């Protein structure tokens, strides 16, 4: 079914059982994965990575370099999947599109005054349309956390709905910036608002605030997705971002997704990692599983 903006009762979000959340995470992190299943998970995770450069010092050449990394990560292992997308600022979308032309790697772009979100709706819509018109298949927006903390939930809802409309056929990832929300209850409410307002994905973080993605916060967001799916039959994607730099943690996220939402979410259509450095570690672990030998980090580009 297609994603549609729906009416939302701002008092409908459940209270989160923090002890229960932490208990489930403790059980996930205590598990080990066998060799064949581990290799499958490593390849799956690689195909879910959004390679990202979102710095003030970004240049055309840096974006092209990142796109080349996306294209050639797996040159030594031709049977490996590509990453899912390359994520850049709106003014670099055309550069990335040209560099990735003819591939299945999407171009994503942040928008809406990323990372603070402190701007007018007019500017945010223009920011989004610039990225979409340049060819971005995916838009990563940030919610107005100040309005959320004021309790102005209808403002947050309406803004997301407006950005969703401006996206046209491009998919919308809504960044909650969970490190600024404070509590699991607030994360759940923000998740419910974003989903009801039209988000195709909900995303933990910009990567600019600490803490960024965590397993407990991700579980809270996954439960919101699950409840919405049970109610409507509509899938919504999930993207933890920031602080996921090693394969062991990535595999724990995949276990969490499978146990909470099921195997239908274990594709890059419905799950992503916002973690560029993760790609290198995944490759190192894949090589280790295949050959029994670790390669030096020096064999992999840093960006």
Residues assigned a catalytic role: 140, 203, 239
Ordered alpha helix ranges (H), the chain? 18-29, 35-46, 60-72, 93-99, 121-133, 145-149, 153-167, 184-197, 215-232, 247-261, 276-291
Q: How far apart are CA 234 and CA 243, in angstroms?
A: 29
Question: Of 143, 114, 108, 146, whose CA–CA distance to 127 is shortest?
Answer: 114
**Token code pair at residue 116:** 């603070």
Tell me whether residue 27 is exposed, middle or buried, using C-beta atoms within 10 angstroms of its C-beta: 0 to 12, 13 to 18, 19 or more.
exposed
Phi, psi of 69 (to 5 degrees): -60, -45
Residue the block writes with tokens 């690689």 = 46
Of 142, 257, 261, nearest to 206 by C-alpha is 142
Distances (CA, A) of 64 to 101, 150, 257, 299: 12, 41, 32, 19
Query: For residue 246, with 0-12 CB atoms within 10 Å meaning exposed, 13-18 middle and 19 or more buried, which class applies?
Result: middle
The DSSP code sequence of 81-121 is: PPPSEEEE-GGGHHHHHHHTTTSS-EEEEE-SSTTT--S-H
CA distance 274 to 85: 10
CB 29 within 8 A of CB 252: yes
How many C-alpha atoms does 219 have within 13 Å on its Cβ side?
Answer: 23
């Amino acid at each position: 079914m297609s994603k549609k903006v729906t009416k939302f009762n701002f008092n409908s979000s459940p209270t989160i059982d923090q002890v229960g959340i932490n208990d489930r995470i403790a059980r996930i992190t205590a598990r080990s994965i066998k060799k064949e299943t581990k290799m499958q998970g490593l390849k799956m995770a690689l195909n879910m990575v959004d390679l990202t450069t979102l710095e003030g010092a970004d240049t055309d050449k840096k974006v092209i370099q990142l796109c080349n990394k996306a294209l050639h990560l797996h040159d030594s292992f031709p049977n490996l999947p590509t990453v899912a997308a390359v994520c850049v600022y709106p003014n670099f979308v055309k550069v990335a599109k040209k560099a990735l032309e003819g591939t299945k790697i999407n171009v994503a772009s942040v928008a809406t005054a990323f990372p603070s979100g402190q701007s007018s709706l007019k500017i945010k819509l223009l920011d989004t349309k610039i990225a979409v018109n340049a060819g971005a298949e995916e838009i990563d927006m940030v919610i107005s956390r100040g309005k959320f903390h004021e309790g102005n939930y209808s403002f947050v809802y309406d803004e997301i709905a407006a950005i969703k409309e401006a996206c046209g056929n491009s998919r919308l990832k809504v960044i909650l910036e969970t490190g600024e929300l404070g509590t699991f209850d607030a994360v759940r409410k923000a998740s419910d608002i974003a989903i009801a307002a039209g988000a195709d994905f909900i995303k933990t973080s910009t990567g600019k605030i600490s803490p960024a993605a965590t397993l407990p916060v991700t579980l809270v967001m996954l439960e919101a997705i699950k409840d919405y799916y049970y109610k409507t039959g509509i899938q919504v994607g999930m993207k933890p971002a920031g602080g996921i730099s090693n394969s062991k943690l990535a595999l724990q996220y995949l276990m969490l997704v499978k146990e909470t939402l099921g195997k239908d979410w274990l594709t890059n259509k419905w799950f992503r990692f916002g973690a560029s450095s993760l790609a290198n570690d995944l490759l190192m672990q894949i090589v280790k599983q295949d050959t029994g030998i670790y390669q030096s980090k020096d064999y992999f580009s840093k960006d």
